[in-house]
A and B are shown apart, each in its own frame.
Chain A
Amino acid sequence: MKLGVKAAHPNTPSKRRKELRKNLIAYSFILPNLLGFAIFTLVPMVFSLGLALTSWDGANQVSWVGLQNFKDLLDDSTFRISLENTLWYVGGTVPLTMVCALGLAVLLNQPIRGRNLFRTIYFFPYVASLVAVAVVWNMLFFPSAGPVNEFLRALGVANPPRWSASVDWAMPTVIMASIWRNMGYYMIIYLAALQGIPSILYEAAAIDGANAWQKFRYVTVPMLTPATFFISIMLTITSFKVFDLILVMTNGGPGRATNVLVMHTYNTAFRQFKFGYSSAIAMVLFALVMIITIVQFTMERRWVEYSQL
């Protein structure tokens, strides 16, 4: 208790009643949200682990199967492919989105006219619905007569890629679409961080004779590490949950070339009604996200520099 005068006898009934009243008031503020949050988020979270240890079609008896679902995952080729595809997507999306976002932010952080207009334009794809974005990408990259391939042919490329219709190109196409869509969002986080770097650091570097690249390398990059750390975690978590973009662009195909973990979870649960097995896949997704997040946090000290300024 920080407020007011401390009571002379801290355990008097009046003190306790005051304490109780304070707690009740606070909980009355939290309760509307807490009730919904507990029932519809926390309880399902706890249950998902239990569900992964059962076999259940959603209608008949629930039967306890222990780790059987996880053993079955080892022989499930769609699961293996989905896992590989997810890692491929995350591995492609996270670093490239970060580089693009940083590049955009550095460009925009200069004294230029129309900065707000550019910022708005770069950011816009992020708020446009994924379904609309995915469908326009598919049309632009239409293998036979889409504008992108027509353009490539006009440039003399005889056999342009078949993009999302090709086993080899489908994932790169999805990754490109996701970078295009998301980089404006992360650019804004970088831009905020760039604007927080004290100009005195650049002045000091200039006195030491640093050129533009050296200023970027030895001042900007280290000063941005907290933002980079934050963005890498956010991006990793969101990339592991990719679903909408892939469902509309490729529906997991061609073949299983873009089938990802969330899609496999969705199909197993809501098309095949294997709730227990699907929960096991969801647990693998959860474990992966947690492990990578924890690794990122343990590595934090090695490279993230928190400024004392």
Chain B
Amino acid sequence: MALTYILLIALALIMLLPFIWMFSASLKLDKDVFRFPIAWIPQNPQWSNYQTIWTRIPFLTFFYNSLKLTAIITFLQVATSSFAAYAFAKLEFRGRNILFLAYIASIAVPWQVYMIPQFILMRELGLVDNHMSLILLQAFTAFGVFLLRQFFISVPNELLDAARIDGLSEYGIYFRIMLPMSKPALATLTIFSAVFVWNDFMGPLIYLHSESLKTIQLGLRMFIQQYSADYSLIMAASLVSVIPVAILFLAFQRYFVEGIGTSGIKG
């Protein structure tokens, strides 16, 4: 048993050391970042690094853009997915199975396979270099429908039938029974989606070119390229980019873990 703990702690250190090193390096002078042996606690912490990063590049704009996209896309994804998932889970209609099969099949196809036609479509719509392109591409996912359907199916039909007998419409059932009962599922999709959008790199790389529209991930890469020798600033900027997701994750990690455990999917 002691061996188990030693192993678990050693592995935990391997997972955490890069982040600890990141934090430690972010508080150093550039010339001290690679000094060996490593001074884990800097003697003279340079907290000013955390102020400097906001002035070197428009980090605040990038931060705001990421927040905006994350909030809008996540909201739309949860709204449209849960609406559709209700029908797939609890209503019978023509074409249900074939439609659901199309949804499932699309999850297995890497989106990079059709990213070029998507780009051409967006260009025809005049939405390249516009946040709308990313919103439209990411707000209507098959993944969200699939995830929520799995949860919705487990809500007992008797409950819905009783509501129908009481004269509640399907919309009433969705809003007043399904949604309140599936808060954990909605929380799961919310953080899946928010973490994905916040961390997304390739989508913004393809669609966002103006500096005023770029997201935090693009900004971080730009920072790395422009100030490649300012090691401590790069580490400070990287850490700042991880903080929102870390907070979200720590607050809701129970749902995240349950969501993966039960449905597994997403990559």
Chain A residues in the interface with B (C-beta under 8 A): 1-3, 22-23, 25-27, 29-30, 32-37, 39-45, 47-48, 51, 58, 104, 107-108, 110, 112, 118-125, 127-133, 135-137, 139-140, 142, 145-147, 150-151, 154, 180, 184-185, 188-189, 191-192, 230-231, 234-235, 237-238, 240-241, 243-244, 247-248, 262, 265-266, 269-270, 275, 278-279, 282-283, 285-286, 289, 293
**A180 and B14 contact, CB distance less than 8 A:** yes
List of A residues within 8 angstroms of B21 by Cβ: 136, 139-140, 147
Task: Select which of B15, B99, B110 is within 8 A of A125 by beta carbon.
Answer: B15
**B91 and A33 contact, CB distance less than 8 A:** no
Instruction: Verify if B261 is at the interface (C-beta below 8 Å from A).
Output: yes
A145 to B31, CA, bound (A): 11
Of chain B, the residue at the smallest CB distance from A145 is B34
Instruction: Verify if B75 is at the interface (C-beta below 8 Å from A).
Output: no
Instruction: Verify if B231 is at the interface (C-beta below 8 Å from A).
Output: yes
A125 to B242, CA, bound (A): 10
Task: Select which of B12, B141, B257 is within 8 A of A121 by beta carbon.
Answer: B12
- Assuming A40-B121, A248-B221, A275-B120, is B238 touching A282 (CB within 8 A)? no
**A1 and B92 contact, CB distance less than 8 A:** yes
* CB<8 Å pairs between A and B, sample of 7: A112-B8, A118-B12, A124-B249, A129-B242, A135-B238, A139-B235, A237-B108
Task: Select which of A45, A47, A127, A278 is within 8 A of B245 by beta carbon.
Answer: A127
Given pairs A51-B117, A139-B21, A150-B36, 8 additional interface contacts (CB within 8 A): A34-B84, A40-B140, A44-B121, A48-B116, A136-B21, A139-B25, A231-B264, A266-B206
**A45 and B113 contact, CB distance less than 8 A:** yes
Instruction: Verify if B168 is at the interface (C-beta below 8 Å from A).
Output: no
Of chain B, the residue at the smallest CB distance from A121 is B12
A270 to B144, CA, bound (A): 29
**A42 and B106 contact, CB distance less than 8 A:** yes
Task: Select which of A119, A235, A238 is within 8 A of B257 by beta carbon.
Answer: A119
A184 to B16, CA, bound (A): 12
